[in-house]
Amino acid sequence: MLTFSKQTDPFTGEYYVQAPFKGLFLTEHPVYNKGTAFPEDERHSLGLCGLLPEGVSSLKQQKERTYEAFSSKSSDLEKYIYMLSLQDRNETLYYALLLDHLEEMLPIVYTPTVGKACQQFSHLYRRRRGLYISARNIDHIDEIFSNAPFSNVSLIVVTDGERILGLGDLGMGGMGIPIGKISLYVAAAGIHPAYTLPILVDVGTNNEALLEDPLYLGLRQKRLEGDEYDEVIEAVLNGVRRHFPTALFQWEDFGRNNAFRLLERYRERICSFNDDIQGTGAVALAVLLSAMRIKKEKLRDQRIVIFGQGQAGLGIAMQVITALQDEGLSYEQACSRIYGIDVDGLLVEGMSVREEQKLLLKKRSEVADWKLDNPDKITLLDTIRNCKATILFGVTGQSGSFDESILKQMSENCKLPLIMPISNPTHKAECTPEFAIQTTEGNCLIATGSPFAPVQYKGEERKISQCNNLYIFPGVGLGALVAGTPKVTDEMFLASAIALSKMVSQDQLDQGLMLPPIDEIRQVSAKVAHAVTLEARQSGLGVRAGDDKLFDMVKNAMWKPVYLSYRHAKS
């Protein structure tokens, strides 16, 4: 197992990297490889003579060459495969290119294209990346972790492949999500790729199509459940604590039956969070806070309907409740502002609900005088009409569920409703921005989960904010690592949401934007991380240092994808 190390020359002050080997191996390792950018002196000192063409390229020239190749690909999936192959051979070049074309490439390296890649993962498999831990090899967990590429791992993203985006159970194919998520961590927050590790915990799949696919590379059995499942997860977590005790652990795309209980079970034992729950909640809250600045209203005066009560919906509810309490409301008062709707309609006492859904149960007396289309079920439209909703979230993956009647009712309830169809990929959004703007005659604020092009309405261009977790999770992760906190709290996510909303300028608010431009993501991640370190310090969980010192620590921790000089690490 290697240890990535950046050194400073004590005489010249020059930064350099200790190369652990010479020759062919150096050109084959994605973290150390510079390709044609190895200068002539290093080609001699590191045993590279004859392995590379005569010409020496700058990083700028390499980016031009690779972007030309990227642009020549005829489909998004081909572009995804090209970028993955680039990452597999030269990570510095990969991230330098990604940062130069972030807005264009984000939909390629992550949603929506990553969903297609996960569906075909076994057919597209080229080269190993990360660790695969299956129920059959769990007894060898220490051997598995000893095969991690680097010993100084600081960030782990793990999935069991059960709920990949809005696509469901993709088994081993879910590995594309931790790989993609780590790419976003590195690009947005500058965590060096050598300090990261994607993990797939393979407990089987209930996807019959995968089990019948002769090329499927995952464990060919039904998913483990109950104690058998928990024993696998416990072994993984204990392995992480033994081998990487200071690493941040992110749960990603676990099914609803496991996501909440695993988060609650382990959040005090290991520094961890669930981006689908907490990250989604925080970025949604940031949009709400920006919307309140546009509407010049208080969050406590809103009536919020959340259509969908899975991880995203409940994550939003929990984070909004935290914010409402911060505004001075009691827990009960905060819960009363939010209306949760699941498959059987509005959550009302007496219904069979999961433990985490109980916070939004309404008393029968609260809805006794509501006018309903059908007394047997309180529908989305019933709820919006009767509670006079001013904010509407969609997290169901049900395309078109925000129809004309829903949007018109929102317009009747207030002058400027906030509509947030944040399901992804794009084709699963509850409505399109164009439909929402046209139906409300332009009188709405809108943010989506997937990227949408600007909408032309009455001669004006309306830009659409993407409620993308990228605004939150990289900065939260970076801040937690810099602070050295033993756990990630709800208050840290609240601090991150407030910091994110404050980055939106008045000019951007005037245009209806509620999040900063995505090309400012590095500045965003730095400020979010700083907010997390401040909250960690305030709560007694983080480094005790001054505000400026903490911000300097954050900035110093952010890797920039440039080539440093190499010196061979002598044994």
Please list the active-site residues: 110, 181
Q: What is the DSSP string of 347-396?
A: -BTTS---GGGGGGPBPGGGGTT---S-TT---HHHHHHHHT-SEEEE-S
C-alpha distances (whole Å) from 509 to each of 434, 503, 520 are 19, 11, 16
Q: In what order do the strands lie in the sheet with 131-134?
A: 131-134, 196-202, 155-159, 248-251, 272-274
Residue 11 has a CB neighbour count (10 Å cut-off) of: 6
> Can you give 400-448 as a three-state secondary structure string?
CCCCHHHHHHHHHHCCCCEEEECCCCHHHCCCCHHHHHHHCCCCCEEEE
CB of 36 within 8 A of CB of 59? no
C-alpha dihedral, 505 to 507 to 512 to 516, nearest 10°: -30
6 in helix, strand or coil?
A: strand
Of the candidates 313, 314, 310, 288, the one whose C-alpha atom is nearest the C-alpha of residue 301 is 288
d(CA 135, CA 127): 22
DSSP structure string for 130-151: SEEEETTTGGGHHHHHHTSSBS
Distance CA 130, CA 524 (A): 27
Contact between 152 and 195 under an 8 Å Cβ cutoff? The reply is: yes
Q: Give kind and range of the element (H or E) at residue 64.
A: helix 59-71
Coil, helix or strand at residue 565: strand
DSSP category for residue 278: I
Q: How many CB atoms lie within 10 A of CB 445?
A: 24
Q: Which residue has the tokens 């598995």?
A: 144
Exposure string (b/e) for 265-303, b if CB count within 10 Å is 16 or more? ebbeebbbbbbbbbbbbbbbbbbbbbbbebbeeebbebb
CA-based torsion, 313, 319, 322, 324: positive or negative: negative
Strand partners, 202: 134
- Beta strands 155-159 and 248-251: pairing type? parallel
What's the CA angle centered on 100, arms 124 and 35, to 5 degrees? 65
Encoded amino acid at 16, one letter:
Y
Q: Which of 250, 243, 285, 284 is nearest to 267 (CA)?
A: 250
